[in-house]
Amino acid sequence: MSRGLWLLLCALLAALLIPIALGGSDLFTQLRTFPPLFLLSMFGMILLCWNLNALRLRLLLGFTRISQLRAVGVVMATEFAICATPAGAGGPLTLMALLMRHGVRPAQGTAIYALEQLADLLVFTGALLSILGYGLSTALDSRLSGLLGASAALLTAALVLLGLLGRFHRGLLRGNGRLLARLGMRPALRRSWTRKVLGFRNALRDSLNLPRLLLLGVFLLTAVHWVLRYSVLYLALLGLDSALPWAWTFVLQMLALTAGQLSLLPGGAGGAELASVALLAPLVGKSKAAAAILIWRLVTYYFYLAAGAPVFIHLVGRPLLKRLVGNRPF
């Protein structure tokens, strides 16, 4: 078995065994009492999320270029690649490979992925600032307020940095070119790299120059998607009779998934479970926290892998799958 497949298997086992070990014998009692209707509602929310992201992709590409069903398939395959590779490194590669089959140039596909990530960043920054403002006016828990403030500051700094990169990108490219020349890179290779970067810059500029109403629609679809996806843990706790404020579950998921990336396992497995249980157990108890985390990861991790794998193989094929989870570098 290849190293990538072993890594994915370790991620799956870590995501499953950590909540079971921390929850103890009471975990299964909590799971047996969980309402099936809640679980079905969560899966329905994820299906809706895929359709919202597919509609967002169609807005950026043009409705006539790709059908809704095909766009849903592209989204599912891309999400599978994100969950199956460390730090989601396979996501951009999968998206570009699928969009190229619809006549989208690699630079344009990369620009679309970057614009989607920028929309995500704007949504998270706006949500954190809104929650922080609400918390300051309602005497929110000091620990939550501190986490919100630090997270909002980091995301705001990221947005400012991206703005500065966009404003001074010409000087950055010239400086990088001089650095590569000093490092001994051949002129032909430097020109090829520069052409690719400029192609991405031009494609991103064209995407940002789309009609403002269209870009607003992309932002709103992104916001609704993340509200639905980040409501899964809230519903899991509600089904376990341990409801917490939605704002707390939002911040908890964001911090847990960020910590999960440090595990270097696909989908942030292991780190996400440990961080989320550590934050949640003091509030609802260890067994209920473990049960909620297990349900949350079932819906937002295992389901993405199980539903996305056949779609990925059908749309992309085995060669790219071997490249994603095999030994070859990206």
User: For each of the chain's 330 residues, which pLDDT tens digit applies?
Assistant: 466 677 777 777 877 888 888 877 788 888 998 999 999 999 999 999 999 999 999 999 987 678 999 999 999 999 999 988 887 888 888 999 899 888 888 888 889 999 999 999 999 988 888 877 766 666 556 666 666 677 777 778 887 887 777 777 677 767 776 777 777 777 777 777 777 777 888 888 888 899 999 999 999 999 999 999 999 999 999 999 988 888 889 888 988 888 887 777 788 888 888 888 888 988 888 889 999 999 999 999 999 999 999 999 888 876 666 666 554 443
Other C-beta atoms closer than 10 Å to the C-beta of 314 total 10
Phi/psi of residue 264, each to 5°?
60, 20
Nearest to 311 by CA among 88, 82, 48, 74: 74
Distances in whole angstroms, Cα of residue 298 to Cα of each of 43, 61, 176, 301: 10, 32, 44, 6
pLDDT of 35 reads 94
> Which stretch of DSSP H or E encloses residue 256?
helix 246-260
Question: What is the end-to-end Cα distance of the chain in Å, rounded?
Answer: 19
pLDDT of 328 reads 45
Q: Which residues are CB-contacts of 28 (< 8 A; sequence separation ≥ 6)? A: none
d(CA 322, CA 327): 8
Burial 99-131 (b: 16+ CB within 10 A, else e): beeeebeebbbbbbbbbbebbebebbbebbbeb
Number of domains in the chain: 1
Residue 41 in domain: yes
Residue 160 in domain: yes
Look up residue 20 and give its two tokens.
Answer: 């079971």
pLDDT of 191 reads 74
pTM for the structure as a whole:
0.87
Look up residue 63 and give its two tokens.
Answer: 């409705």
Taking CB atoms within 8 Å and a gap of at least 24, the contacts of 54-61 are 55/221, 56/116, 56/119, 56/218, 56/221, 56/222, 56/225, 57/112, 57/116, 59/214, 59/217, 59/218, 59/221, 60/112, 60/115, 60/116, 60/207, 60/210, 60/218, 61/99, 61/102, 61/104, 61/112
pLDDT of 269 reads 82
Residue 84, SS3 per DSSP = helix
Residue range of the domain that includes 118: 3-325
Torsion 278-280-283-284 (CA) sign: negative
d(CA 15, CA 1): 20
Amino acid at 77: A
pLDDT of 135 reads 67
Residue 330 in domain: no
